[in-house]
C-alpha cells in the first residue's frame, strides 16, 4: 500500500511518531494550550522528553498533576484519532474542538473536585 509520507495534519514534514507527537505545528499548538490551562509556560520538547516530564510531574500527589497526566494521555489518543479520521474519512477538527474533546474526556474520568480545576 502506497502512503503519502507527509504529515496529514500540517502538510509540511514527513510523518513519524516523533513528528506526530509534539513536533507537528498543529499538534504543538494543542499541547501548548492544554499546558497553559495548567499554568505551564514552557517549550514543547520531543515526545520522549515530554513523556519523561509528565511522568515526573505525575509522581507528585496533587490534583493538578493527575489532571495533567490524564490530559497528556488523552492528547496522544486524540492526536491519533484525528490523524486517522483525516486519512480514512477526510474529517478534520480544528484545534479548539480537539482541545474541548480532550478536556471533556478527562473531565468524564475524574472526580468532581478534580473536575472543578478544569473549568476555565
- What is the predicted pLDDT for the residue at 22? 85
Tell me which residue of 33, 61, 64, 51 sits closest to 42, measured CA to CA.
33
- What is the predicted pLDDT for the residue at 1? 53
- What is the predicted pLDDT for the residue at 2? 65
Query: Hey, where are the domains in the chain?
Result: 17-118
The percent of the chain in helix, strand and coil, each rounded to the nearest 5, is: 70, 0, 30
DSSP state for residue 1 in the 8-state scheme? -
Classify residue 93 as left (phi > 0), alpha (psi -120 to 50) or beta. beta
In degrees and rounded to multiples of 5, residue 103 shows phi and psi of -65, -35
Q: How many whole angstroms separate alpha carbon 62 and alpha carbon 77?
A: 23
Q: How many whole angstroms separate alpha carbon 73 and alpha carbon 69?
A: 6
pLDDT in tens for each of the 120 residues of the chain?
567 788 888 889 998 888 888 889 888 999 999 999 888 888 899 899 999 999 998 888 788 888 999 999 999 999 999 988 988 998 888 889 999 999 999 998 888 777 777 765
- What is the predicted pLDDT for the residue at 119? 65
Amino acid at each position: 500500500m502506497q502512503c503519502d509520507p507527509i504529515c496529514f495534519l500540517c502538510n509540511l514534514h514527513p510523518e513519524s511518531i516523533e513528528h506526530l507527537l509534539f513536533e507537528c505545528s498543529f499538534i504543538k499548538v494543542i499541547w501548548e494550550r492544554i499546558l497553559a490551562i495548567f499554568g505551564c509556560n514552557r517549550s514543547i520538547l520531543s515526545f520522549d522528553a515530554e513523556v519523561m516530564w509528565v511522568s515526573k510531574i505525575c509522581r507528585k500527589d496533587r490534583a493538578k498533576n493527575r489532571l495533567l497526566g490524564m490530559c497528556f494521555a488523552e492528547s496522544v489518543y486524540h492526536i491519533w484519532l484525528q490523524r486517522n479520521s483525516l486519512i480514512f474519512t477526510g474529517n478534520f477538527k480544528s484545534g479548539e474542538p480537539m482541545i474541548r474533546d480532550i478536556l471533556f474526556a478527562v473531565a468524564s474520568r475524574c472526580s468532581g473536585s478534580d473536575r472543578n480545576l478544569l473549568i476555565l
